[in-house]
Amino acid sequence: MLRYLVPPLSSEPSLSEVELDVKASEILPNSGRIVPFSGKPALVFRSASGELKALSATCTHLACTVQYRPERADIWCACHNGVYDANGVNISGPPPRPLTKLEVNVRGEKIVVRRV
């Protein structure tokens, strides 16, 4: 019975590199957006200085999806008020760990995100 209840592992391939549908020029300085990365949400954002960054968007507290806050240039989880800095380091609220870092590259106009 227990074996029946435990779902089989997903057959979806876990990609280590994903080319996003978003163009690099679409992400303006001091803004961010959530994109699918291997079936999970990732946060791709551009700092005020124009640097493009990517992090896992899954909050390390209780798995809500975080967002980039332009007015504070930080990353915020609305569920329990957890805050991370622009490097994904947990700085206030309940999150126990930093967000997982992802590598981001721009090829022409395309954004490519990959696991570190």
Partner 1 sequence: MAWLRDRIGWEDIAHLAAKKEVPIHRYTVFYYLGGMALFLFMVQVATGILLLLYYRPSSAEAFESVQYIMAEVPFGWLIRSIHSWGANLFVGVVVLHLISVFFLKAYRAPRELTWISGAVLLFLTLGFGFSGYLLPWNTLSYFATKVGTDVPAQIPGIGPLLAQILRGGSDVTGATLSRFYGIHVAILPAITTLFLGLHLILVQRHGMSLPPSVERRGPGRSMKFVPDFLLRDMVGWLTAVGILAALAALLPWELGRKADPFSPAPAGIRPEWYFLSMFQALKYFPSEIGGVPGEMIGVFLFGAIAAALVAVPLLDRGASAGRPSVWWNRAAVLALAGAVALTILALLPAGRPAP
Strand partners, 54: 44, 102
CB closer to partner 1 out of 34 and 52 = 34
Q: How far is the CB of 92 from partner 1 (least distance, A)?
A: 6
Residues of span 45-74 touching partner 1 by CB under 8 A:
57, 61-67, 69, 71-72
Residue 81 binding partner 1, by CB under 8 A:
yes
* Cα radius of gyration rounded to whole Å, the chain: 15
Using CB under 8 A, which of 90, 99, 102, 113 touches partner 1?
90
- Among positions 79, 85, 101, 114, the unique one binding partner 1 when judged by CB under 8 A: 79
Counting Cα atoms < 13 Å in the Cβ hemisphere of 3 gives: 0
Q: Shortest Cβ distance from residue 54 to partner 1 (Å)?
A: 14
Q: How far is the CB of 7 from partner 1 (least distance, A)?
A: 5
- The residue count for the chain: 116
Smallest gap, in angstroms, from Cβ of residue 15 to partner 1? 15
